[in-house]
């Protein structure tokens, strides 16, 4: 809205300047057309009138340009702008009247009796238009400052909002993989349990562990180990449905929250899919590595109805899968 006001004032500023130029032209036409054929006394009267008009007081409706520049209230600036527009409308009416009279003068050879009044009106209109130019310039400058301040505040607010978003993301996401961390997973599991209870949905927790990950770190270093975790995290995230959540629980352990599945066969299909996705060879600087997971699965409400119970039972089932060298195992 403030930007629009500046634009409108700029347009008005241009109109006023154009009108002021036109007034000068009209005045010159009047003087040139009359002084050639009027007595010297009348010509001297025109000159005297111009001197008197040049010392006339400013329009009492308007503030001086200096005061306008000191105006800090946006409402005051907009009111000032409206006052200037009212003055311009008056000037336009006077300009029309002067122009009509000028045409009458140009079309007759008679000496008009109101020539002095005509020039005085022209000069008065010119003075008011000149004042309007100064006032509009001052108000526009003040409005532009207001707009700049508004944009600056908006920019800073956006920066604060972005900082808050970044801080919130950092608080609930793993810095290495970018996945939700343990806290966020627990929060979503709690929310999921409430929904499952309310709507009668099925819910499952999968505890995913990378086999022999310690050997990878010991043999190739933590840099390679971190690269493996990033690759696995990316693969798991890409294969996750919107209603589900995959998180890094810690170390080489990932937790998968599965919502709204049909039956146990759906869970098996997803577990096999996770196994196959992780088993795709990882292309690393040391060459190719093949990773295999062990997955433990707990089902709500069969294996528990709390966050603690479901994660604990899934963790126990994961060790069963490791011990039996299976890709996945269900809690018993």
230-247 tens-digit pLDDT:
999 999 999 888 889 999
For the chain, which domains are there? 2-164 (no CATH), 182-330 (3.30.70.270)
Nearest-CA neighbor of 81 among 139, 26, 30, 35? 139
- pLDDT given at position 148: 75
Dihedral sign of CA atoms 92, 94, 97, 98 in order: negative
- pLDDT given at position 44: 43
Which segments of the chain have a pLDDT < 70?
Answer: 1-89, 91-119, 122, 126, 133, 136, 139-140, 143
Is the pTM higher than 0.75? The answer reads no
- CA-CA distance, 189 to 247, in Å (whole number)? 11
Prior bond of 269 cis (ω within 30°): no
- pLDDT given at position 4: 46
Cβ atoms < 10 Å from Cβ of 27? 20
Tokens of 124: 């008065």
Q: So which residues are the catalytic ones?
A: 252
Backbone region of residue 328 per phi and psi (left: phi > 0; alpha: psi in -120 to 50; beta: other values): beta
Query: Do the Cβ atoms of 125 and 94 come closer than 8 Å?
Result: yes
- CA-CA distance, 15 to 221, in Å (whole number)? 75
Q: What is the DSSP letter of 331?
A: -
């Amino acid at each position: 809205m403030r930007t629009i006001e500046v634009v409108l004032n700029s347009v008005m500023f241009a109109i006023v300047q154009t009108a002021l130029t036109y007034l000068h032209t009209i005045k010159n036409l009047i003087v040139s057309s009359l002084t050639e054929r009027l007595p010297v006394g009348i010509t001297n009267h025109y000159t005297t009138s111009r001197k008197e008009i040049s010392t006339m007081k400013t329009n009492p409706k308007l503030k001086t340009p200096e005061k306008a520049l000191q105006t800090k209230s946006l409402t005051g600036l907009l009111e000032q702008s409206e006052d200037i527009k009212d003055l311009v409308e008056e000037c336009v009416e006077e300009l029309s009247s002067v122009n009509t009279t000028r045409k009458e003068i140009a079309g007759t050879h008679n000496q008009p009796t109101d020539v002095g009044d005509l020039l005085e009106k022209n000069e008065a209109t010119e003075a008011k238009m000149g004042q309007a130019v100064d006032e509009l310039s001052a108000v526009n400058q003040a409005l532009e400052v207001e707009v700049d301040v508004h944009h600056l505040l908006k920019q800073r607010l956006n920066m604060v909002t972005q900082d808050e978003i970044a801080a919130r993301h950092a608080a609930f996401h793993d810095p290495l993989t970018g996945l939700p961390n343990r806290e966020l997973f627990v929060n979503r599991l709690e929310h999921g349990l409430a929904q499952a209870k309310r709507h009668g949905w099925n819910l499952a927790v999968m505890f995913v562990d990378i086999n022999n990950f310690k050997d990878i770190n010991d043999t190739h270093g933590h840099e390679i180990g971190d690269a493996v975790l990033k690759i696995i995290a990316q693969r798991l995230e890409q294969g996750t449905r919107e209603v589900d959540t995959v998180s890094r629980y810690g170390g080489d352990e990932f937790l998968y929250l599965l919502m709204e599945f049909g039956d146990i066969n759906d869970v098996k299909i997803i577990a096999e899919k996770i196994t196959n996705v992780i088993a795709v060879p990882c292309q690393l600087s040391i060459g190719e590595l093949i990773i295999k997971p062990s997955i433990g699965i707990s089902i709500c409400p069969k294996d528990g109805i709390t966050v603690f119970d479901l994660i604990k039972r899934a963790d126990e089932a994961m060790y069963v899968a490791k011990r039996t060298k299976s890709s996945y195992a269900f809690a018993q």
